[in-house]
């Protein structure tokens, strides 16, 4: 089981490091990719998913996201008793990936004085706050992922 948990840890780490890294490169000031836009971010995230899945597919099945693990467990395709370990490994790996992305772009974060831009390298937030529709949109996105 340790092999699978390590696979999930490193898969999530790669996913977040590469995904958040491309976002930071596009939105933070004085980076080579500054202003490249949403196409670069989308392609970067797509490649992040591909690389993470390809690297750990044989070790753990490459769930790399708690929503996938939970969805598979609910569908009866993954054992419930292994789910907490997978999810813990994914969360720890994602945290480590975010820390590495932050360290990689640390100097650029220090040049940025807009809290929304800084936060935008790590998470999304709605441009228009309508909580019921915002939750609905996230639920749709998660169900497509799973």
From residue 97, how far is each of 12, 17, 103 by CA, in Å?
7, 4, 10
The residue range of the domain holding 101 is: 2-145
Which DSSP string corresponds to 18-66?
HHHHHHHHHHSTT-TTTT--HHHHHHHHHHHHHHHHHHHHHHH----SH
* Domain CATH number, residue 86: 1.20.1080.10
Residue 144's pLDDT is what?
80
Number of domains composing the chain: 1
Residue 1's pLDDT is what?
82
- Cα separation of 33 and 78, whole Å? 40
The 10 Å Cβ neighbour count of residue 83 is 17
Residue 41's pLDDT is what?
96
In eight-state DSSP terms, residue 31 is -
Residue 141's pLDDT is what?
84
pTM: 0.89
The pLDDT tens digits for 21-49 are 999 999 999 999 999 999 999 999 999 99
Residues in the chain, pLDDT under 70: 146
Residue 146's pLDDT is what?
66
């Amino acid at each position: 089981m340790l092999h699978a948990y390590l696979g999930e840890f490193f898969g999530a780490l790669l996913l977040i490091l590469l995904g958040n890294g491309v976002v930071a490169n596009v939105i933070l000031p004085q980076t080579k990719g500054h202003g490249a836009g949403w196409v670069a971010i989308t392609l970067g995230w797509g490649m992040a998913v591909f690389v993470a899945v390809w690297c750990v597919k044989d070790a753990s099945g490459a769930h790399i996201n708690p929503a996938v693990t939970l969805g598979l467990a609910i569908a009866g395709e993954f054992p419930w008793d292994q789910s907490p370990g997978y999810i813990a490994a994914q969360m720890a790996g994602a945290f480590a990936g975010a820390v590495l992305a932050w360290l990689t772009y640390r100097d650029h974060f220090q040049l940025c004085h807009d809290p929304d831009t800084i936060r935008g390298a790590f998470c999304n937030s709605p441009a228009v706050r309508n909580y019921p529709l915002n939750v609905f949109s996230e639920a749709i996105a998660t169900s497509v992922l799973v």
